Chain A
């Protein structure tokens, strides 16, 4: 690796849009830098010059492992992407850590792939990404103990109870998964595009329960009311069953930012 000058910079790309956001919405970038609107071929790239010693290789690799650093950078990146999205203006958000050696490379990207970006922006116009998470506790529902095991000896009775409990748990998990699938199908019909993110069995927030659905939906802004109603209805229907529905957003269309030929499948 060649030595870089202490003040060397590289170019961090945030999003591609048509028009630069108005100046009053100017948001500082991941390095606190002023974000530039690079205009080329009818498109605007939001990009900022960031110090090589913090964001270049190998520093960025190391920094990514620092949760505090990553959190600050992720929030700053997200904030700049959001600033590019207005009531009318769509933007294609770019994944974190997409660095160019110089502005010229970003400009040539816009020139060469202008038509692809245009198509992606048209797909996103007037649409917003929303996230829906459904948490449930499959073990919460009726683990009733039956007493018809009196006849057999205590050891067998114990094993029978264990088997019944396990069967009940499996049934509950299956039902919960089916439920997540059904809700997803329902919300997918009300949206333009949908993605199911990894459930991962995780999202371990305190008392959150099992994640049954982690969906992202690209919703036309005109049909958002119907989408929200559907989510609310589900929440009301399932309120007693230990199921919790969480609507997140509005999100920049991270889950729907694909530009054919530019996107790594």
Chain B
């Protein structure tokens, strides 16, 4: 058995030996545990986009992070539950769905382009708000690029345009 931290025989921790050495263990507690006070405070860790902070931290110092064993937050439900990360998760889920459909259609020999184009539009509609403007513009370009492949719809639109 490995025992880290002060001597387990002596529970008065201030008086006993050194603090547990593993940074990962400490961060796991001081970042995600401990009393959370809501109310008359200026800054709280909750006010800070913690997931972003932690992920960037892992990416920025991957080696150090690995050494101290602190990539636990990547799948931390407390962090995953934050609303401002919802959009990104939706995007990933949409992408996942899209890829599954693509695999399924490839396996069944279906026309991949048809599946892709249908789903792309759906994912753009549910896309992140911040990216919505650009995405919508992109969507229109995609659609206009796709038009020639759909002569019937093209004709109908042309007729409508002519009527105007």
A60 with B43: CB separation less than 8 A: yes
**Which chain B residues lie closer than 8 Å to A188 at the CB level?**
none
Q: Beyond A105-B41, A108-B40, is A208–B12 a contact (Cβ under 8 Å)?
A: no
Report B51-76 CB contacts with A as 1/0, cut-off 8 Å. 00100110011001111111111111
**Which chain A residues lie closer than 8 Å to B26 at the CB level?**
74-75, 78
Q: Beyond A13-B37, A65-B57, A95-B35, is A74–B45 a contact (Cβ under 8 Å)?
A: no
B11 with A74: CB separation less than 8 A: no
Asked if B8 is an interface residue, CB under 8 A from chain A, the answer is yes
Asked if B156 is an interface residue, CB under 8 A from chain A, the answer is no
Q: Which of A152-160, A171-179, A194-202 contacts B (4 or more CB under 8 A)?
A: A194-202
Number of interface residues of A (CB under 8 A): 77
**C-alpha gap A23/B89 in the complex (Å):** 50
A64 with B57: CB separation less than 8 A: yes
B39 interface neighbour in A57, A109, A208, Cβ under 8 Å: A109
Asked if A189 is an interface residue, CB under 8 A from chain B, the answer is no
Asked if B28 is an interface residue, CB under 8 A from chain A, the answer is yes
Asked if A258 is an interface residue, CB under 8 A from chain B, the answer is yes
B1 with A247: CB separation less than 8 A: yes
Report A76-115 CB contacts with B as 1/0, cut-off 8 Å. 0111001111110000111111111100010011000000
B1 with A245: CB separation less than 8 A: yes
7 extra interface residue pairs, beta carbon distance < 8 Å, beyond A25-B14, A97-B48, A200-B75: A56-B43, A65-B53, A86-B12, A94-B35, A95-B32, A200-B73, A232-B1
